[in-house]
Amino acid sequence: MRMWLAMVALGLLLGCSPEYNWRQMDVAGGMVQALFPDRPDVVRRTLKFAGQDVDFTMTAATVNGAVFAVGYAKLPEALVRDKAGRVRMGQTVVASFYQNLGIDVPDQLPAFGRPFDITGRPDGKKTMRLRAVTWVLPHALVEGIVTARADEFPESQANEFLQGLKAGDQ
């Protein structure tokens, strides 16, 4: 019995890395909840999509070279009323993940709301891995992203981060 308890305690200690300091946070003014592995930074900018200004917020934390990020774009009224436009925007975002990693965009993109992985060499030198999920909601586009060098990808932490994402209309 003592041996079993010692093994359980050791397993718990190994599973709790001091580098990962998980915290539940509201993102995008409370529209998204995320479980970040460290205190994140926030960057905001305006992007153009189909002639529309789209306010985009990226909230990201970095631990051991791995980036854990949530992107949130509140859609302008014209896209809120245009479901096909929202879908095109989501497809454009997902396609950009492939392009940024130097990978040809597949004919069939991953389904919205389902995590997917991409491995590529964006600079021709180091191999990077990305795990992401994108949601196209009636009023917003939300993306969860974890990226790191492929040989250092934090598998279990990436899963924990993406499973912890909750968006308002999800």
pLDDT at 68: 98
pLDDT at 12: 39
- Containing 134, the helix (H) or strand (E) segment is strand 128-136
What is the separation of C-alpha 82 from the centre of its chain, rounded to a whole number of angstroms?
24
pLDDT at 15: 45
pLDDT at 146: 98
pLDDT at 67: 97
* pTM score, whole prediction: 0.85
CA-wise closest residue to 67 among 128, 11, 14, 120: 128
pLDDT at 48: 84
pLDDT at 167: 78
The burial of 130, by beta-carbon neighbours within 10 Å (0-12 exposed, 13-18 middle, 19 or more buried), is given as buried
Q: Which tokens in the block code for residue 3?
A: 């041996």
pLDDT at 18: 55
The burial of 73, by beta-carbon neighbours within 10 Å (0-12 exposed, 13-18 middle, 19 or more buried), is given as buried
Average pLDDT by stretches of 10, the chain with 170 residues: 36 53 88 92 88 89 96 91 93 95 95 96 89 94 96 96 81
Q: Which tokens in the block code for residue 90?
A: 């989501």
Q: Which domains are delineated in the chain?
A: 21-167 (3.40.1000)
Q: What is the rounded distance in angstroms from the CA atom of residue 130 to the CA atom of residue 87?
A: 21
CB 35 within 8 A of CB 46: no
